[in-house]
Amino acid sequence: MSPMLAATETSTIVIRDIGGGAEMRAVEELQKEVWGLPDLDVVPLSHLVAAKVAGGTLLGAFDRETLVGFAYGFVSYEHGTVAHHSHMLAVKPAFRNFNLGHKLKLAQRERVLTQGITVMTWTFDPLQSLNAYFNFNKLGVVSDRYFINFYGEEAASFLHRNGTDRLWVTWLLTSAAIVDGRLNRTDPALEFERVIPLVQLGVDESPRRHGLAEALSHEQASIEIPSDINALERQSRELAFEWREATRWAFTEALAAGYLVVDFYRQSRGDQRLGIYLLSRGKRLADFV
Ligand SMILES: CC(C)(COP(=O)(O)OP(=O)(O)OC[C@H]1O[C@@H](n2cnc3c(N)ncnc32)[C@H](O)[C@@H]1OP(=O)(O)O)[C@@H](O)C(=O)NCCC(=O)NCCS
């Protein structure tokens, strides 16, 4: 069956636990396909087995017998509480944008809740607008931590050539925002329109920084990113690195000033597409529970 044909039939795709042997090998292969990882950087079968038996999650999206996506996480301990750290989420390219990533996260949430755990964390590259939208807008995470080169400066994945800075996000599994669902919500008329962004997308696609005093003078703050950093990086690695430096500065300063990252919107400005992070001051993670 061709990938396109398969991808139109996602209603038949089943989300279930990944079993041993061949199915775990398929997880190794999918990591290589999605992230272009060399063998040494693949989370191997032996580790997946141990993490799963020790209370981790290893869920697959199966098109009949074929693994087309997976979510993998392990039990963690954060801020004095047992939590769940989701290390990997991947969907085969031909099967993306059919809500499978979302279904995998919801199934992972159910598994974790049955263990009495109510907090899930993971990391992602804040320059990736797809992941930002998926995490903040579709799932409803919040973030209070930014890591510079989390996995070191040299990245193993073909997806991550521009350093490995990461936002650490927290998904509060029993928070009203998540329980009530993110569906059908109306964007809050972009209350932050009057806010001067810490970093703004220029007409030439370059990052423009604004002064901290004015950008952090309201309860809300914002940080803009290009809609497709990967395309921009293919045109100019220097420009992509400018974006890394500018957003690193903006997130680091805002989080240090007591803001949390609470949402992300996809927007248009004239002919330009962009993404906008919304940050909010005066709230703690616990306020979202
Ligand atoms: C992230 C990933 C797992 C999502 O899987 P998926 O099955 O496509 O996810 P979904 O269909 O549930 O949701 C994708 C959403 O992103 C949106 N999206 C797609 N391209 C986008 C872009 N360039 N910018 C912003 N949003 C985008 C889609 O519109 C969709 O939202 P919608 O349902 O509201 O329309 C998949 O893209 C992937 O495997 N990426 C590579 C690995 C990776 O980044 N893993 C996650 C690390 S946190």
Q: 124-154: per-residue pLDDT in tens?
A: 999 999 999 999 999 999 999 999 999 888 7
Largest CA distance in the chain: 57
For residues 72 and 45, the answer to whether their CB atoms sit within 8 Å is: no
* Rounded mean pLDDT, 155-180: 82
For residue 154, the tally of other CB atoms under 10 A from its CB is 10
Domains in the chain, CATH or no CATH each: 3-179 (3.40.630.30), 191-288 (no CATH)
Ligand 1 probe mutation, 98, 134, 230, most atoms within 8 A of CB: 134
What does the mean pLDDT of the chain come to?
Answer: 91
Which sign, positive or negative, has the C-alpha torsion 59, 6, 131, 264? negative
CA of 80 to the centre of ligand 1 (A): 32
Q: 182-238: per-residue pLDDT in tens?
A: 645 655 555 666 789 999 999 999 999 999 999 999 999 999 999 999 999 999 999
For residues 16 and 64, the answer to whether their CB atoms sit within 8 Å is: no
Distance CA 112, CA 200 (A): 38
CA dist 270 to 10, 48, 193, 273, 274, Å? 35, 47, 15, 8, 10
Q: Is residue 156's pLDDT more than 60?
A: no
* Rounded mean pLDDT, 80-94: 97
Distance CA 217, CA 65 (A): 55
H helix runs in 36-99, sequence order: 45-53
How high is the pLDDT of residue 161? 74
How high is the pLDDT of residue 6? 47
Q: 168-180: per-residue pLDDT in tens?
A: 999 999 988 776 6
Q: Give the position, in ligand 1's atom list, of the atom nearest the Cα of 266.
A: 25
Q: Which residues line ligand 1 (CB under 6 A)?
A: 34, 89-91, 96-102, 122, 124, 129-131, 133-134, 138, 228, 266
How high is the pLDDT of residue 22? 93
Which residue, chain included where needed, has tokens 């279930």? Answer: 16
pLDDT class for 155, splitting at 50, 70, 90?
Answer: low
Which residues, including other chains, have CB under 8 Å from residue 195's CB and lie 6 or more apart? 215, 218, 220, 221, 222
* pTM for this prediction: 0.94
Task: Give the tokens for residue 158.
Answer: 């073909």
pLDDT class for 270, splitting at 50, 70, 90?
Answer: very high
How high is the pLDDT of residue 14? 97
Residue whose CA is at the smallest distance from ligand 1 atom 32: 97
pLDDT class for 285, splitting at 50, 70, 90?
Answer: confident
How high is the pLDDT of residue 1? 39
